Amino acid sequence: MTIERIGVIGAGQMGNGIAHVMALAGYNVLMTDISQQALDSAMSKISQNMARQVGRGKVAEDDMERALKRIETTLTLQDLGQSDLVIEAATERESVKQAIFEDLIPHLKPETILTSNTSSISITRLASRTDRPEKFMGFHFMNPVPVMQLVELIRGIATDEKTFKDCRDVVERLGKTAASAEDFPAFIVNRILMPMINEAVYTLYEGVGSVDSIDKSMKLGANHPMGPLELADFIGLDTCLAIMNVLHDGLADTKYRPCPLLTKYVEAGWLGRKTQRGFYDYRGDTPKPTR
């Protein structure tokens, strides 16, 4: 099977980024969401981001126009049934993902590859709830998708070699680099990154440093492009907490215990950039630390 038609489930930050890069690489994309407003917003964001790439000389204007024409949207999940490859990029909750797969599977072609953009949930467990565990794997893009070069490919225990190779070929066509990860909680990137962010929150919680001093220390002392608390706000504090809970539950090690302050911020609805408040307040002209 030649992969030409891509189904993307979810029109949020990750979903619209995936649709963006797939269309630029020449794939026909059908993106779905439960909200028409989310789909309209995603198409606007894709257009803006591609225009920015054109302005920087990274993409030709003709290529942008052709790519935008390759993206279609639908509110009906079942419309993705004729896709060659489906990438689920819905919210990071296992019950939501399972419900989506349950609704979609009866409409899929037998040869369709089913993947999840999950950043931490067990691929083996997700695959076991489908009719095609051998054609199921993790396809984890980094955020923001058009900019970041890495894609983690995660095989479940049943994933066959052809599915892995087909997905690796897609990554190569995107001009990105694939890293093969085993199916353990949070895989590679988040297994290393999230405990660092969690430790930064503990450092704030225990009064070792302020938001500003912690981020400044890691940017200037470790040459990180973004401080860990600033990065947490960019990712979303709810996502950070969800991944830490997966690590804590899946590995049963107290070193992965989410910081109580991270939990408190999420309970307050201060989730970072997407809610205008997190470790920084984004409601003014310049982000200001909230602690």
Q: Any catalytic annotation for residue 223?
A: no
Does 180 participate in catalysis according to the annotation?
no
Q: Which of 88, 92, 152, 230 is labelled catalytic?
A: 152
Catalytic residue among 119, 120, 122, 198: 119
Residue 95 a catalytic site member: no
Residues forming beta bridges with residue 32, ordered by sequence position: 9, 74
From the candidates 20, 140, 198, 230, which is the catalytic residue?
140
Q: Would you state the structure tokens that stand for residue 164, as one six-digit string?
A: 């892995």
C-alpha–C-alpha distance, residues 219 and 156, integer Å: 36
Active site residue 224: no
Pick from 61, 166, 168: which is nearest to 111 by CA?
166
Active-site positions?
119, 140, 152, 190
